Amino acid sequence: MKIAIVTGASSGMGREFVRQIEHLYKELDEIWVIARRRERLEELQSRMLTNVRILQGDLLDDDIYEILEKLLEEKKPNVRMLVNAAGFGKKGEVKELSCREQLEMIDLNCRALTHMTKICIPYMCKGSRIVNLASAAAFCPQPSFSVYASTKSYVLSFSRSLRTELHKDGIYVTAVCPGPVDTEFFETAGKQDNPMKEATMVKPEAVVKQALIDARDGKEVSIYGAAMKATKAATKILPHRLLLDAMDKFW
């Protein structure tokens, strides 16, 4: 049985990955979706042509990993694609945000992604893909988004090194690094009052389409749009101290 697994599938980028995967990977037998909100997953399931298996659970709890491990052991599927799309950000300075908010960001964006990847790798083979949702925030530290940007730097670094480790097995890893995307993300992150981010906001459909094409082509990093490609280039050329001072002043 050939499957794809998508976390954070009830909304935003995760949901869009589920919708588009079946059109690009037509040989899939099932798509396994993981998220907390069952009603959202059931609504998504009803719209899909590919069979969707719902695994309701919170990636901040151990139970969902036990459920997934048992199911993988029972079905022994060929995991053709793993999309780690679950995650969240919270705007605010470190001294302002609660410890719980900041530690949960780290746990979901880093720990859960790593745990999911570790569980799924034994069921992958040559030609399988791992797609990790990072962010353009991974390219440079960001004041008032310190923890979130740091978690996404982890995702980018982890994806790059894992890609090298799995190269001999024929498994490809792609880190997706979008800028601002028009999803529910900002309902949690906080009001988006940055004119630059408003101007570069893009639709999730376009970002996911590019990400799946880049994953199919075996690319290391997927970046949608000229603005974010220019951002990546700037963070390589300009000193981070200069960029941090500019963000602190104008953002």
Phi, psi at 148, each rounded to 5°: -60, -50
Q: Which residues pair with 30 in a beta bridge?
A: 3, 51
Confidence of residue 83 (pLDDT cuts 50, 70, 90): very high
pTM of the model: 0.88
Q: Which two tokens stand for residue 162?
A: 């894992």
How far are the Cα atoms of 84, 172, 178, 197 from residue 79, in angstroms, in the given order? 13, 12, 25, 36
Domains of the chain: 2-250 (3.40.50.720)
**d(Cα 46, Cα 44) in Å, to the nearest integer?**
5
Q: Does residue 202 contact residue 12 with C-beta atoms inside 8 Å?
A: no
Tell me: the pLDDT tens digits for 214-240? 999 999 999 987 777 777 676 666 566
